[in-house]
């Protein structure tokens, strides 16, 4: 995500009428207010699970507020929330409230996007497609601007709002430059950026300063990605409804974080396939005859990412962790089988070119 003067949404905003600017600012304020309330409610509601007993009045109020937030989530997400909180493990509790906060923020961000679409004071020469792209950029910028607040939420959730409780707002700036040390459960399964299995004995041990800062940044990025995804889907649906030969509503555009290579002939009927960094890493592991845990370690070491759609459904963030879960181990095996079939269909020369990243 981008921000500041380099953000297309900001550059466009500077060229519109004062009336429109004021309207957008009002919508942003509404989002910020709702997000702030969700932050407070999730911190309050998680306190008893993470930090032990609190007052009955506090607990009753938190239970009511969290119930209101949960109403915004789909049934599958609610089941996941209940399953994780029932485990009574810090990493699972954190994952549950992370998803709850992101789910609530997503609902508000989609509402923000749709409210922008409904603004009547748009330029006469702005097409519906151009307006929706602008509205999507505005929503993306809005989400990005709340990453700092999210980082504060992580710290307050872990410390029960006490370590950084102060009336001096300057004490929060810059949050990533202070000396807070993150509890280790933030990197334990099923935390959204997990790279370790859960270990109750080490859950509340502290990471070093550098690792703590890096983990906050990773979590903030994951937060922005998670909240933006439904906005992106809403934008796709909006444009599809207005396009000739549009895809059915709800069908997502293919998305990947992998860098694509040049198209290569597959050798199977001359069909052209665009190979990616994902092919390079998985083909390399197949060529090296890596299996099971060794395969997972190989692709993790090469920084291969778990598909985003799997993570959205609760898959751990690394292949090694996913391999430890029966339901996701099957997914890994199916993925490897698909790539293995492609690998076997190629000539030795093309296989080696893909693995080495050399293309004609």
Residues 86-122: pLDDT tens digits? Answer: 888 999 999 999 999 998 899 999 999 988 888 766 6
Residues 231 and 138 grouped into a single domain? yes
pTM: 0.64
pLDDT at site 126: 61
336 shares its domain with 275: yes
Same domain, 212 and 318: no
Q: Do residue 265 and residue 135 come from a single domain?
A: no
Last residue of one domain, picked from the residues 242, 275, 302: 242
Across the chain, what does the average pLDDT equal?
76
Domain that residue 96 falls in: 4-242
What is the number of domains present in the chain?
A: 2
pLDDT band at 202 (very low <50, low <70, confident <90, very high): very high
Bridge partners of residue 272, in order along the sequence: 265
Query: Measured in whole angstroms, how far is the alpha carbon of residue 331 from the centre of its chain?
Result: 20
pLDDT digits 0-9 by tens, 32-83? 888 888 888 888 788 777 776 544 444 444 444 567 777 777 777 788 888 8
Within-domain flag for 247: no
| In a shared domain, residues 236 and 266 | no
Same domain, 156 and 208: yes
Residues 92 and 178 reside in one and the same domain: yes
238 and 268 part of one domain = no
Are residues 145 and 207 both part of a single domain? yes
Locate all alpha helices (DSSP H) within the chain, ordered by sequence: 8-13, 18-51, 56-70, 75-86, 90-117, 128-144, 147-159, 209-242, 277-287, 292-301, 308-312, 319-323, 326-345, 348-356
Residue 249 forms part of a structural domain: no
Question: Does residue 198 sit in the same domain as residue 306?
Answer: no
254 domain residue, yes or no: no
Does residue 235 sit in the same domain as residue 268?
no
| pLDDT at residue 203, rounded to an integer | 92
Which of residues 187, 208, 242 is at a domain's end? 242
Interval 342-353: pLDDT, tens = 888 888 888 888
Instruction: Tell me the per-residue pLDDT of 7-19, one tens digit each, with 9 for 90 and over.
Output: 544 554 565 566 6
């Amino acid at each position: 995500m981008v921000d500041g003067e380099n953000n297309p949404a900001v550059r466009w905003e500077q060229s519109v009428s004062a009336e429109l600017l004021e309207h957008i600012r009002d919508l942003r304020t509404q989002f910020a207010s709702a997000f702030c309330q969700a932050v407070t409610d999730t911190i309050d509601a998680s306190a008893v699970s993470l930090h032990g007993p609190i007052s009955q009045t506090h607990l009753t109020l938190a239970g009511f507020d969290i119930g209101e937030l949960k109403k915004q989530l789909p049934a599958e997400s609610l089941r996941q929330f209940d399953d994780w909180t029932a485990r009574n493990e810090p990493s699972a509790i954190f994952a549950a409230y992370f998803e709850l906060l992101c789910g609530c923020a997503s609902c508000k961000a989609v509402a923000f996007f749709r409210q922008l679409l409904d603004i009547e004071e748009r330029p006469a020469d702005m097409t519906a497609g151009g307006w929706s792209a602008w509205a999507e950029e505005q929503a993306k910028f809005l989400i990005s601007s709340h990453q700092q607040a999210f980082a504060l939420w992580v710290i307050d959730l872990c410390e029960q709002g006490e370590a950084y409780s102060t009336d001096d707002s300057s004490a929060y700036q810059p949050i990533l430059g202070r000396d807070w040390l993150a509890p280790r459960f933030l990197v334990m399964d099923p935390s959204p950026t997990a790279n370790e299995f859960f270990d109750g004995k080490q859950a509340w041990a502290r990471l070093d300063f550098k690792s703590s800062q890096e983990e906050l940044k990773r979590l903030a990025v994951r937060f922005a990605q998670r909240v933006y995804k439904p906005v992106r889907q809403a934008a796709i649906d909006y444009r599809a409804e207005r396009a000739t030969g549009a895809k059915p509503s709800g069908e997502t555009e293919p998305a990947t974080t992998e860098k694509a290579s040049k198209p290569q002939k597959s050798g199977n009927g001359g069909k052209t396939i665009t190979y990616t960094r994902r092919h390079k890493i998985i083909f390399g592991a197949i060529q090296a005859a890596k299996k099971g845990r060794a395969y997972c370690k190989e692709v993790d070491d090469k920084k291969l990412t778990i598909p985003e759609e799997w993570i959205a459904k609760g898959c751990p963030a690394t292949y090694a962790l996913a391999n430890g879960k029966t339901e996701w181990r099957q997914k890994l095996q199916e993925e490897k089988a698909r790539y293995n079939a492609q690998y076997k269909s190629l000539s030795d020369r093309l296989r080696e070119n893909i693995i080495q990243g050399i293309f004609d």
